[in-house]
Amino acid sequence: MRRALAFLPTAAVVAFAGAALAGVSGQDFSQIEHGRYLATAGDCAGCHTKPGGEDFAGGLPVETPFGKVVAPNITPDTETGIGLWSDDDFVNAMTRGIRKDGAHLFPAMPYPYYTKVSRDDVLAIRAYLTTVPAVRNGVETDRLPFPLSVREDMAAWNKLYFTPGEFHRDTSRSDEWNRGAYLVEGLMHCGACHTPKNLAGGDKNDERLQGYALQGWFAPDITTDRRRGIGAWSADVLTAYLKSGHNRFSAATGPMADEVSHSSSKMTEADLHAVATYLTQQPAPDEKSPQPVAASDPAMKAGAAIYTDECSACHTPRGAGVRNLFPALAGSPSVQSTDPTSLIRVVLAGTQSVASDGAPTAPSMPAFGQTLGDRETAAVLTYIRNAWGNAATPVSAGDVSKHREAIVKSGG
């Protein structure tokens, strides 16, 4: 769901702009700088800045299961942006999903999560947005097909799937745990991607954070399930991943690479450790592990041969990978995920992991879509998901064919 800004303003630029604004209007620069940090943590630019476009000027189409919605202009332009919005208008949009004109927002704008953000923090974000350049860019946001485009219907949706209200501390937990909960459940809106959705697009709260397929990728399970989630990750290991996009278990690609590059990598270590502390103390779902596909299965035999020829040079014959370069496949939660969407995409189309200050190499995975057919791709993925102690459902040629068609249709 995220498409991030190539360059966020540096603290020095914001300081200069904020100081100038403070001299004119009396606004508090500390509030503006705090808002800049919060806007980065929430990855606001990820939806509101299109590639090659002006900062926060909108126009980026966001894929949803129901069609495309287009993010609006949130610069202080008075005609096409939010320059004429009051503080209450902005708070209502962020935390209640109600625009200045009284119309309902669609939940592609994650107000079901932002509702937990404090009013002070929401107003800090607004204070920051008043300092970005005003851009005149009218955006046609309503592109969902009828009747899904009827905004009045969102009132009924909200009654079913939206619970307004700020975050409340759990007094039995530490300050760090509560800070992590505030960020995960609010501004960072992790569940917007990682929690499965029902047919109406509402969160399946009984499957919270167990992974969800969207935009041709699978946002993985981030519960403490040891096989498919982050149960084997310590808080320090998860903090390192959020800061750099890499650890001994995984490398961030696809939408998560954007999130790391333009959001979490710019957050403080203290906040990232709080997020990790909260997530690594969440309960794991009570599910039985699947039985691995037998090594004697024809798909496993074919997949083993393909793996030896095409994959073992980088990921090693036993799937151990190369630390901080090529992720391990043996024991990988992503490899054993309930949904192989990301795995199929990576094998067919290739990908590049995120580059960050802590891990600047950004190794790539080449595309094998031209050299491996649907059956071969299915076989090697079935093998990887069930070798070296892994256990996951097999991948079918039909699964691969469906995703290949979707990749071609989307242009890769």
Which is more confidently placed, 70 or 176? 176
The closest of 341, 338, 317, 340 to 329, measured between CA atoms, is 317
What are the residue ranges spanned by the domains of the chain? 11-138+148-161, 175-279, 298-410
Q: How confident is the model at residue 149 (pLDDT cuts 50, 70, 90)?
A: low
**Would you list the DSSP string of 49-97?**
B-TTS-TT-B--EEEETTEEEEPPP-SS-TTTSSTT--HHHHHHHHHH-
Q: What per-residue confidence (pLDDT) applies to 141?
A: 73
> When comparing pLDDT for 145 and 22, which is higher?
145
**Which of 122-136, 199-213, 314-328 tops mean pLDDT?**
122-136
Q: What whole-number distance in Å separates Cα of residue 72 and Cα of residue 74? A: 6
Q: How far apart are CA 25 and CA 20, in angstroms?
A: 9
Report pTM: 0.88
Specify whether the CB–CB gap between 149 and 158 falls below 8 A.
no
Mean pLDDT of 143-150: 63
Cis peptide before 72 (omega within 30 of 0): no
pLDDT of residue 15: 46
The reply to whether CATH 1.10.760.10 applies to domain 298-410 is yes
pLDDT at position 2 over 50: no
DSSP 285-343: P--PPPPPPPTTSHHHHHHHHHHHHHTHHHH-TTS--BTTTB---TT-TTTT-S--HHH
Q: Do domains 175-279 and 298-410 have the same CATH topology?
A: yes
Rounded Cα distance between 244 and 358, Å, is: 5
Residue 407, Cα to own-chain centre: how many angstroms?
19
Six token digits for residue 235: 């808080």
Q: Which two tokens stand for residue 386?
A: 């069930």
Closest CA to 254 of 48, 394, 107, 46: 46
Q: Which pLDDT value is given to residue 61?
A: 83
Work out the average pLDDT over 276-289.
Answer: 89
Confidence of residue 146 (pLDDT cuts 50, 70, 90): low
Query: With respect to CATH, is domain 175-279 assigned 1.10.760?
Result: yes
Which helix (DSSP H) or strand (DSSP E) does residue 355 occupy?
none
Segment 41-100, tens digit of pLDDT = 999 999 999 989 999 999 888 877 777 888 999 999 999 999 999 999 999 999 999 999
Instruction: Say if residues 2 and 255 touch (Cβ distance below 8 Å).
Output: yes
In this prediction, residues 263-285 reach a mean pLDDT of: 95
pLDDT of residue 23: 43
pLDDT at 359: 73
- pLDDT for the residue 202: 94
pLDDT in tens, 207-225: 999 999 988 899 999 999 9
Neighbours of 110 (CB within 10 A): 22
